[in-house]
Amino acid sequence: MLDRSLIGLKSLPGVNEIEKGAIRKFAEALGEHNPIYHDEEIARALGFKSLVAPPTFIMTLKPGSNVRESLNLDYRRVLHGEFGVRYIRPITAGEKITVVGEIKSIHEKQGASGRNEFIEITETGTGEDGSEVFTKLTVVVYRPEPEERK
């Protein structure tokens, strides 16, 4: 059984500087040709401060430490459960986005093959003014050893 005292544990804040080159390379790797990802003049003409990061760019932004390490999981027994993102606003080049991860909950559910534990982890990105930019939710399913599932 996972340690429930870890609920509420937060990572160190990680400051991520959003660079034009990183946005362009990321968009190129996606095959994304929208000019707001490549042409700063067009992005500015459309009301943005600079190049806009594609929505999935947030996957490259990291907290200052990994809260999952505290769970001491055997990754052979980890399954992906759920993933979601709540965007508040676009991210643009030149910003510094601070990301903090947090273990929000750990709970059990009984399934056909036995008991599983579900771990909900959020990562919240904030702008330099402290306002929320996005929140990612990841749900990890942890399957205990067969003798522990009952």
Residue 57: the pLDDT is: 97
Strands 114-126 and 132-142: antiparallel
| Domain residue extents for the chain | 4-18+61-148
Which residues on neighbouring strands pair with residue 122, listed in sequence order? 102, 137
CB-based contact 81:105 (threshold 8 Å): no
Mean pLDDT of residues grouped by 10 in the chain (150 residues)? 94 98 98 97 98 96 93 91 96 98 95 88 98 97 73
Residue 107: the pLDDT is: 95
Residue 63: the pLDDT is: 97
- 86-106: b (≥16 Cβ within 10 Å) or e: eeeebbbbebebbbbbbbeeb
Of 3.40.50.300, 3.10.129.10, 3.40.640.10, 1.20.1250.20, the CATH number of 4-18+61-148 is 3.10.129.10
Residue 150: the pLDDT is: 53
Residue 112: the pLDDT is: 79
